[in-house]
Structure 1
Amino acid sequence: MKRLSISKENTLGVITAGLFVLMSFSIPGFFSSNNLTNMMFQLPEFGLIALAMMVVIVTGGIDLSITYTAALSGVTIALMASSGYPMLGAILIGVLVGLSCGLINGVIISKIGVSPILVTLGTMVLFEGLILSITKGNSISGFSEGYSLIGNGYYMGIVPLSIIIFVLFAIITAILLSKTKWGRSVYMVGSNPIATLFSGINNSKVLMRVYLYAALLATIASIIMTSRYNTAKVDLGSSYLLQSVAAAVLGGTEIQGGYGKVIGTVYAVVIFQMLSSGLNLMGVPRSIVTVMMGVILITVLVINFVKTKLDEKSQKKLPSNSVA
């Protein structure tokens, strides 16, 4: 008799729906159009960085420089725009700077073989230093009205443009990971890099593209953030660093690599956004919200670790049971 198995992503989807219903009935103002609109405006920037982190974690790595990649590209766009460059040209230069950050990480990790956590810790400090050198610790503001529409505008007066951008890139990421040769290689590298190498796959090229794609997503997030806030500074999106790791892990991505789905990360991002918004409406201090996010991350990591160990034990018992 077959056991009915429910995927982690489906379980998380049910939890997301249940949490939305619970908060709508228990927290005054949560289901108001104003609050729902605010959540839709806040979610895309966090969601894009979480997707970037998820893609990296699937390979068994991590990118601690992801938010500073976003900040550096955002500061570049602001600097170019304030210097008189056309907005489109400023955005293109910002994207190139973001991709350059991903290229630096990708080369050192994939070509030289240095640990991702060490490389991205170093580049995080490097990018932060570059931003401080450019801005002197100040913020750069004063974007055009057209640019501000990216983060603050609506499509047909109803749906925020930024949420459409997020959904578009979520779909693209899901297709790339599940329907392309590169995507399958990403999972293989995360599961067993040595076996993947012997199967004829160029691990170095796969990892290079992973860090470039993560940098691209971070740059898109920076475009949304700078246009929404009308400013760019050194700590742009810095609060999303650990939250993005938490969202990826909560969404079912294995921290050791080899497994992770876009839909799971999207559900986790929505959960975090609802919790943040709901607790804010209840008057809970932001510092306490951050503490709760940390507790959630640690709890999920412990649960996943224990589950992995129990699965390993059950797998070891299978041969003896079958012989008996």
Structure 2
Amino acid sequence: MTAMTRIHAALGRETLPLLGFLVIVILGFSALTPMFLTAGNLRSMAFQMPVLGLLTLAMLVPILSGGLNLAIIYQANISGLVLAWTLIQFGGPQAGFEAFLIGGALALLAGALSGAVIGAVVAYFGAHPILVSLAMMIFLRGLGEFATRGGDISGFPPFMNVLGHGSVWGIPVPLLVFIAAAILWHMMLARTRHGFSVYMIGSNIRAAEYAGLHTKRTLVLIYALSGVICAVAGILMAGSFNSVRVGHGEALLLVTVLACFLGGIDPFGGFGRVLPVVIALVILQALSSGLNLIGANQHLATAVWGLFLIGVMAIRHIVLVIGNRHKERKTT
């Protein structure tokens, strides 16, 4: 086994190409604007990416299992509403840290419960994940609109600002939360029985059942954990915006899917790693920030993301065809 083969085996085949493209993006925008590599812009990127990153992690594992979770945004929002409601009950701006702990626990429970319902319906009733998560999305949106009358909930204690805008040793708190979640997600997928079951279900759920894996329990846990990560994202959004409303982050849903596919997650399940997805998130954030700095319209960044994904899929197909032809020549 060559050194390059070992590196690909350790990091994943998508990692090195994505790192190369990230370097190209950084060098390109650095040449276009001197503001790109400034401390202020890098700090701004570090504060903006974590919520999208957490929501992408929430989308990642369902896709690995061969499913999808379209309810992630509203799971985050309803969890944020649960936290906000708890803080308001304990005095709003005068609420203590104990109220935050209670509200945070209830928010995580709300996220886990909504995810577990999706997983249970998928696992025990055989419904398609897209339809079930779409139904949950509609339910949570309606519930949130009913609870807030379409408005915002604000008036949080000052320490909530730390979650959205604070730093520890110069590193933004939201970024630390995302890094911790990404490490936990990597360890779960790479080193636990649950992670092995996720890949097996995504590859072939029937074969997983014949192998003795408890596929139904695994599916429930997949979507419950997805809901927990959504709740963490909702808590960070509450701290970042200093308010909670049902519509926060609506534009991020399709971007999470984009980041997963860009990071090499197989859309049919069974293959993918966390590290390439994290690099893909950095690339998307760098593209967005760079285009903003050179004065491009924000909608152009969305268009560029879509074109980029089309280009990546085309390149992957070409590489796959070339690789298959090379193997055929070797065997003949």
What TM-score, normalized to structure 2?
0.90
Match of 2:274 among 262, 279, 289: 262
Other-structure match for 2:190: 178
Other-structure match for 2:144: 131
- Counterpart of 2:196 in structure 1: which amino acid? R
Match of 2:58 among 52, 60, 73: 52
Q: Which runs of no fewer than 5 residues in structure 2 stay unpaired?
A: 92-98
Other-structure match for 2:27: 21
Match of 1:279 among 291, 295, 311: 291
The Cα of 1:168 is off from its aligned counterpart by: 0.7
Match of 2:67 among 61, 66, 75: 61
Q: Which runs of no fewer than 5 residues in structure 1 stay unpaired?
A: none
Give SS of 1:29's match.
Answer: coil
- Counterpart of 2:166 in structure 1: which amino acid? G
Other-structure match for 1:289: 301
1:30 maps to 2:42: no
Distance 1:81 1:194, change over 3 A: same
- Equivalent-residue separation in structure 1 for 2:203 and 2:271 (angstroms): 8
Other-structure match for 2:87: 81
- Equivalent-residue separation in structure 2 for 1:129 and 1:304 (angstroms): 40
Other-structure match for 2:95: none
5 Å-filtered alignment, 1:159-238, equals 159-238=171-250
Distance 1:193 1:143, change over 3 A: same
- Equivalent-residue separation in structure 2 for 1:42 and 1:32 (angstroms): 16
The Cα of 1:20 is off from its aligned counterpart by: 1.9
Distance 1:83 1:290, change over 3 A: same
The Cα of 1:281 is off from its aligned counterpart by: 1.0
User: Aligned Cα RMSD in Å?
Assistant: 2.1
Q: Does structure 1 conserve the Cα–Cα contact (< 8 Å) formed by 2:117 and 2:220? A: no
The Cα of 1:299 is off from its aligned counterpart by: 3.7
- Equivalent-residue separation in structure 1 for 2:326 and 2:132 (angstroms): 37
Q: Does structure 2 conserve the Cα–Cα contact (< 8 Å) formed by 1:249 and 1:300? A: no
The Cα of 1:287 is off from its aligned counterpart by: 1.8
1:147 maps to 2:160: yes
Q: What does the per-residue CA deviation read over 1:60-114, in whole Å, with 9 as the maximum and x for residues that have no partner?
A: 1111111110011111211221222622211111111111110111111111111
- Equivalent-residue separation in structure 1 for 2:236 and 2:107 (angstroms): 12
- Equivalent-residue separation in structure 1 for 2:324 and 2:132 (angstroms): 31
The Cα of 1:288 is off from its aligned counterpart by: 1.9
- Equivalent-residue separation in structure 2 for 1:53 and 1:281 (angstroms): 29
- Equivalent-residue separation in structure 2 for 1:296 and 1:90 (angstroms): 40
- Equivalent-residue separation in structure 2 for 1:297 and 1:127 (angstroms): 30
What TM-score, normalized to structure 1?
0.92
- Counterpart of 2:35 in structure 1: which amino acid? G
Give SS of 1:222's match.
Answer: helix
Give SS of 2:61's match.
Answer: helix
- Equivalent-residue separation in structure 2 for 1:95 and 1:188 (angstroms): 27
Q: What does the per-residue CA deviation read over 1:183-228, in whole Å, with 9 as the maximum and x for residues that have no partner?
A: 1111111111111110000111111111111111111111111101
Give SS of 1:241's match.
Answer: helix
- Equivalent-residue separation in structure 2 for 1:4 and 1:148 (angstroms): 45
The Cα of 1:123 is off from its aligned counterpart by: 1.0
- Equivalent-residue separation in structure 2 for 1:186 and 1:243 (angstroms): 23
- Counterpart of 2:199 in structure 1: which amino acid? Y
- Equivalent-residue separation in structure 2 for 1:73 and 1:3 (angstroms): 46
- Equivalent-residue separation in structure 2 for 1:31 and 1:4 (angstroms): 30
Distance 1:290 1:230, change over 3 A: same
Q: Structure 1 stretch 1-10 or stretch 247-256: which is displaced more?
A: 1-10
Distance 1:282 1:52, change over 3 A: same
Q: Does structure 2 conserve the Cα–Cα contact (< 8 Å) formed by 1:12 and 1:264? A: yes
Other-structure match for 2:111: 98
Other-structure match for 2:94: none
- Equivalent-residue separation in structure 1 for 2:23 and 2:231 (angstroms): 30
